[in-house]
Copies of this chain bind each other. A is one copy, B any other.
Amino acid sequence: MRKIYTPSSAASDVLEVIQILEGRWKLLILFHLFDGKVQRYSDFEKLIPGISQKMLAQQLRKLEADGIVARKVYPQVPPKVEYRLTDWGQALCPALDALLSWAEQKDHFAPPAS
């Protein structure tokens, strides 16, 4: 088994990852951003069933504050706001991809007990 980190370096990194990605909605929002077709506030509302306006706005702003997501406001009426990943946010893609691959492998390791 691979040793995943050196104790001296990664303690704070782990905490940072947890803080940044914590919550029921962050990953969902990010996955839609990676999908590339979703940039508008109302798109998220449609594609993430069950999320409230409050949570959506709040989590988007947290992601923005953490430097994962960039928010671009077009000064027009009606308002238009686009969300996109920052460079650092895009760098997260392989990790989230690995996470999804892992989830897909579940049945390989734990065959549905029949």
A24 close to B18 (CB less than 8 A): yes
Q: Whose C-beta in chain B lies nearest to the C-beta of A37?
A: B7
Interface of A, helix, strand, loop or mixed by DSSP = helix
User: In this assembly, does A77 line the interface, its C-beta being within 8 Å of a C-beta of chain B?
Assistant: no
Residue with the highest number of chain B CB atoms closer than 10 Å, among A7, A14, A87: A14
User: Nearest 5 A-B pairs (CB), nearest first?
Assistant: A88-B109, A95-B98, A4-B34, A13-B103, A95-B99
Contact string against B for A residues 31-51, beta-carbon threshold 8 Å, 1 for contact and 0 otherwise? 100111000000000000000
* Cβ-defined partner of A13 (8 Å) among B10, B13, B100, B110: B100
| Distance in angstroms between the alpha carbons of A65 and B36 in the assembled complex | 34
